[in-house]
């Protein structure tokens, strides 16, 4: 007889996303873009994490319009 662990003890890895965010100044001028790669549950979570990471990396710039694209499934 084989015991099965509950899902929270044996979670599946999250998909891998590439996210891009535009960086603007206080007046709304686009200063450039930044790209991040990381694991997230879904595209919404990936966009939320992108805004957070971008704010840490570029504290004087304002991140807007994050986009997320799934680039690899993990097994």
The whole-number pLDDT of residue 74 equals 53
The whole-number pLDDT of residue 73 equals 60
pLDDT in tens, 20-59: 999 988 888 888 889 998 888 888 888 888 888 888 888 8
Q: How many other CB atoms are there within 10 angstroms of residue 35's CB atom?
A: 10
Residue 62 host element (H or E): strand 62-72
* Residue of 10, 16, 51 lying closest to 34 (CA atoms): 51
pLDDT mean over 6-32: 83
The answer to the question of residue 2 being in a domain is no
pTM, two decimal places: 0.66
The answer to the question of residue 7 being in a domain is no
The answer to the question of residue 3 being in a domain is no
The answer to the question of residue 56 being in a domain is yes
* Residue of 9, 64, 69, 63 lying closest to 38 (CA atoms): 69
Q: How many other CB atoms are there within 10 angstroms of residue 31's CB atom?
A: 13
Contacts of 49 (CB under 8 A, 6+ apart): 19, 36, 38, 40
The answer to the question of residue 5 being in a domain is no
| Residue 60 structural domain | 13-74
**Number of structural domains the chain divides into:** 1
The answer to the question of residue 6 being in a domain is no
The whole-number pLDDT of residue 10 equals 67
């Amino acid at each position: 007889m084989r015991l099965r662990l509950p899902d929270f003890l044996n979670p599946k890895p999250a998909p891998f996303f590439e996210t891009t965010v535009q960086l603007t100044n206080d007046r709304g001028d686009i200063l450039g873009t930044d790209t991040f790669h990381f694991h997230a549950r879904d595209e919404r979570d990936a966009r939320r994490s992108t805004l957070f990471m971008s704010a840490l990396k570029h504290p004087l710039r304002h991140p807007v319009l994050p986009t997320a694209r799934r680039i690899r499934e993990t097994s």
